[in-house]
Amino acid sequence: MSDPVTNNPDVRMRGFTSRSLVEDVLAWVDEHAQRLPAESVELAKASGRMLAEDIIATHDVPPFDRASMDGYALQGNATDGAGDYNPLEFRLLGESMPGNAFAGKLETGTAIRIMTGAPVPLGADAVVPAEYATESNGVVRITTSVSPGKHIGRIGEDVQAGSVILNAGRRLRPQDLGVLASVGVPRVTVTQRPAVRVIITGDELVLPGDPLGADCIFESNSFVLRSLIERDGGEVESMRRVRDDRKSIAEAMRDAGADVVLVSGGSSVGAEDHAPSILDDEGDLAIHGVAMRPSSPVGMGRIGETMVFLLPGNPVSCLCAYDFFAGRAIRLRGGRASDWPYPRLTATVERKIVSAIGRVDYCRVLLNDGRVVPLSTSGASILTSTTRADGFVIVSASSEGYAVGATVEVFLYDSSSA
């Protein structure tokens, strides 16, 4: 991999002399986003977590032959010839209920009342559904025949003891928890969730609900980032809002307790953009400036084992830089796949998408009857461009864009756009 580091970490009021290639930056992320250790959690709290080891069944499911219908358990061969005009009679011996099995053994010509999920008694090999039977004076009359094995769930039919139920690396779904519970698993070993600290810089920023002073704007990036972090399996360790001064930013950046630190704002070349030089002082500024649009001022590095991402303050640039790099790191550290967590489809370009060779473009688009239309307003500060868009198209650094009629891959912000 080529060295992506700029020669001088302090580019304030100078500008970038060079920018790293996106492919090199992704390679740096993949190299340093090491998976976190595993931990044991209660099964009830494991939904959405990444399984760290294979789960092997210690019990059969079901652990006994059980009825799959309400009705009568008997010997299937003894029902041959039964019908509406030829009901067959069986002596009723008792009943088998879930949690209270029939203790005896059936012989030819006998039956027991049985409920769904109850153990099938010895001697029985089929269940006649209740709608084909009538019961009176200790006798049950059957009006249909059933073959041996009919309406019976066999021992181990669902899960066999010794089999691998779920493999390591799986994201646990609600139904997975049900299967684990069915074999008696009380806890599972999962990859730790990355602890993510978000640092919001900017003297002009005001929280929604607070009075909006002159020359101020409402802060929005923290709300976007929190949702993205949770989507990618991270936990927000803290949300810190600091002033645009070196001491405050440095203290928030170097404090222990986070696996990943995201700094929103202060990453570019302005006089108050302190974050890159602070990261260089406190640890290692590996990358600053990337050949992409938006998000070209993004930076990243490490303080010890903590990965630090310097995200531009412009809302769309912040979102884009997070998705390309920081989100990828959080997913990898938490044991998830690195790929974009968006549904996607292929579609035809209706209006030309313009780019420039040498940079990667994140182009917000609309879908018009399944055809791709780039948004005419797509500045890095226009956050509503992402709410009006159905998704985005990534234009590679080797392309000048896509002509009308070209087939492109669209990443959808919402699966309902498909």
Q: Just give the CATH number of 66-153.
A: 2.170.190.11
pLDDT score of 418 more than 60: no
HEC assignment per residue over the chain: CCCCCCCCCCCCCCCCCCCECHHHHHHHHHHHCCCCCEEEEEHHHCCCCEECCCEECCCCECCCCEECCCEEEECHHHHCCCECCECEEEEEEEEEECCECCCCECCCCEEEEECCCCECCECCCEEEEHHHEEEECCEEEECCCCCCCCCEECCCCCECCCCEEECCCCECCHHHHHHHHHCCCCEEEEECCCEEEEEEECCCEECCCCCCCCCCEECCHHHHHHHHHHHCCCEEEEEEEECCCHHHHHHHHHCCCCCEEEEECCCCCCCCCCHHHHHHHHCEEEEECECEECCCCCEEEEECCEEEEEECCCHHHHHHHHHHHHHHHHHHHCCCCCCCCCCEEEEEECCCEECCCCCEEEEEEEEECCEEEECCCCCCCCCHHHHHCCEEEEECCCCCEECCCCEEEEEECCHHHC
pLDDT score of 1 more than 50: no
pLDDT score of 7: 42
Mean pLDDT of 265-288: 84
Query: Where do the domains of the chain lie?
Result: 22-32+192-333, 39-61+157-191, 66-153, 344-417
Q: Which span out of 209-223, 305-319, 368-382 was modeled with the highest average pLDDT?
A: 305-319
pLDDT category at 4 given cuts 50, 70, 90 is very low
pLDDT score of 11: 52
Mean pLDDT of 71-86: 97
39-61+157-191: in CATH 2.40.50.140:
no
pLDDT score of 2 more than 90: no
pLDDT score of 41 more than 90: yes
344-417: in CATH 1.10.443.10:
no
pLDDT score of 290: 95
Query: Which class is 22-32+192-333 in CATH?
Result: alpha beta
